[in-house]
Amino acid sequence: MTTFSPRHLLTASALAVTVGLGFAAAQDAQPEISPEASQQAQEAANKNEPLSAPQETGRVMPDTFADLVQQVAPAVVNITTTAVVAQPTGGEGGPAFPEGSPFSDLFRDFGFPGPGPQGPGGPRMPQRSNALGSGFVISADGFIVTNNHVIDGADEIEVEFYSGETLPATVVGTDPNTDVALLKVDAPDALPFVEFGDSDNARVGDWVLALGNPLGQGFSASSGIVSARNRELSGTYDDYLQTDAAINRGNSGGPLFNLEGEVIGVNTAILSPNGGSIGIGFSMASNVVSSVVDQLREYGETRRGWLGVKIQDVTPDMAEALGLAAESGAMVTDVPEGPAREAGMRAGDVITSFAGAPVEDTRSLVRRVAEAPAGEPVEVVVQRQEGPVTLSVTLGRRETAEGAESRSDQQGGPARQDMLGMSLTVLTPQMVQEMDLPSGTTGLLVQEVDPASDAAEKGLAPGDIITEAGQQPVASIADLTARIDEAREAGRKSVLVLVRRDGEPRFVALPVGQP
């Protein structure tokens, strides 16, 4: 499935990721929930049961979403945040109009400084800024889920329920990586709540319902379908459902329901050229959110698993060079000090299974490792030339491992021999020292690359260092020549080489052709 890259998304529009900010107050609009539905919602809360939709069988398209709205709306909330924003000192040449002038109000609306009590150019007093978003209750005792960007930097947070009651909220924990925040309110009575569904069961074309507080208008419902799954926007752990249900500023943090009344996504972002909905909205998948929420609820922070490897996707030519039956798995390019090295994993391994489930690509592996508990052993199956090997890896914790890797600067050197469209030279101890490489580094330095060669097409460039070929160390031109000959004798069309650039390793399959 084709996924949007962060670069594609963000260059499509400066307003691509639109959040629930910038509205001073919501309209006084509440859902028209019948007394019977309100009573049923409170009874469910008192029994500590989640709200759910009336069950209908044999129906493909609902006649109405009204029953579903009536059932789950009591658990949807509006969130208002307040923050003190420092105002810059006015500068010379800025707009200056008499206080009370309509032009003065206009410029203030657009963020320009107007005349203050000190006059143009004088110091300005800090101002209070309000913002709105949405959220939903997930437990009778008052835990509420929303987006991190809705409450980020807030001094005060208030939660407004469908009944109009307002309660202050405290932040239990946040996860900027998935844009999830968990809040808590102390309510005198049990609160109606909803539960998470399994987002993996959502199919493209399924009906969905989005509830929230768009554009500060108060409670609002919009419907649509799941337009796509497994969208990736800008984060390592992204797994978005794309929907055409109308999502606008202020919907951030609100729930995306399936027809069973289960939350299968948290409305987070839209793709838009003008800041308004054009039918391309993104909701973080509930399976990601629920895992984060469980950790925030228990620890007040996330505790993701850490394998301790650098990986890349397996391409078709790499699979052919390795003799793999399928173009799936995650190729290990480097194994620094950490859990994987301690378990015996090594560069060149292809991870094909993690915790008993097959690994399709690097993205799926990263998410599954993150969801695995730190400090506990997990079985990892890797494919090597001699066959599959099962390793038991005790995962570390990513939060404590991030930022620990060091990188070295690498540059070119003299002396050459032309092979595979590249001019290569053997690294000498002096070159290693001059390039600030780790002591004992061996390999072949790429000095030049023929622009018309396969090596150039594969992305190799001067300054790259080839350290392995055919999953064996390369310390001389003769080593590389031997690996190329072995690939040809085995009937392979390419040889797999390990290339290091700026300290970062990656595998590249280079066509070997005929001698």
Coil vs helix vs strand at 33 = coil
Is 149 a catalytic site residue?
yes
Name the one residue in this structure whose structure tokens are 């963020």: 111
Q: How many other β-carbons are positioned within 10 Å of the β-carbon of residue 299?
A: 11
In sequence order, what are the beta bridge partners of 412? none
Question: How far are the Cα atoms of 14, 200, 358, 384, 483 from residue 296, in angstroms, in the given order?
Answer: 31, 22, 28, 38, 50
The full length of the chain comes to 515
Coil vs helix vs strand at 365 = helix
Confirm or deny that 179 is annotated as ligand binding.
Answer: yes
Question: How far are the Cα atoms of 135, 193, 469 from residue 161, in angstroms, in the given order?
Answer: 10, 11, 63
Is 479 a catalytic site residue?
no
Of the candidates 477, 501, 473, the one whose C-alpha atom is nearest the C-alpha of residue 422 is 477
DSSP 8-state class, residue 200: G
Question: How far are the Cα atoms of 41, 52, 138, 328 from residue 49, in angstroms, in the given order?
Answer: 9, 9, 10, 42
The amino acid occupying position 313 is: D
CA pair distance 429, 412, nearest whole angstrom = 14
DSSP 8-state class, residue 161: -
Confirm or deny that 46 is annotated as ligand binding.
Answer: no
Confirm or deny that 104 is annotated as ligand binding.
Answer: no
Residue 419 makes CB contacts below 8 A (sequence gap 6+) with 477, 480, 481, 484
Q: What is the DSSP annotation of 48-60? A: T----PPP--S-S
Radius of gyration (C-alpha) of the chain in whole angstroms = 28
Catalytic residue among 139, 175, 179, 291: 179
Catalytic residue among 134, 139, 149, 244: 149
Give the CA angle between residues 360, 239, 285 to the nearest 5°. 125
Q: How many other β-carbons are positioned within 10 Å of the β-carbon of residue 48?
A: 11
Q: How many other β-carbons are positioned within 10 Å of the β-carbon of residue 283?
A: 29
DSSP 8-state class, residue 216: G
Catalytic residue among 134, 199, 252, 290: 252
Is 252 a catalytic site residue?
yes
Burial class (CB in 10 A: 0-12, 13-18, 19+), 325: exposed
Q: Are 137 and 191 a contacting pair, CB within 8 Å?
A: yes
Q: Are 202 and 229 a contacting pair, CB within 8 Å?
A: yes
Residue 265 makes CB contacts below 8 A (sequence gap 6+) with 199, 202, 208, 240, 241, 243, 255, 256, 283, 284, 285, 286, 289
Confirm or deny that 149 is annotated as ligand binding.
Answer: yes
Q: How many other β-carbons are positioned within 10 Å of the β-carbon of residue 377?
A: 12
Q: Are 447 and 423 a contacting pair, CB within 8 Å?
A: yes
Q: Which active-site residues does the annotation give?
A: 149, 179, 252
Give the residue ranges of the annotated binding site.
149, 179, 250-252
- Binding residues for substrate are 149, 179, 250-252
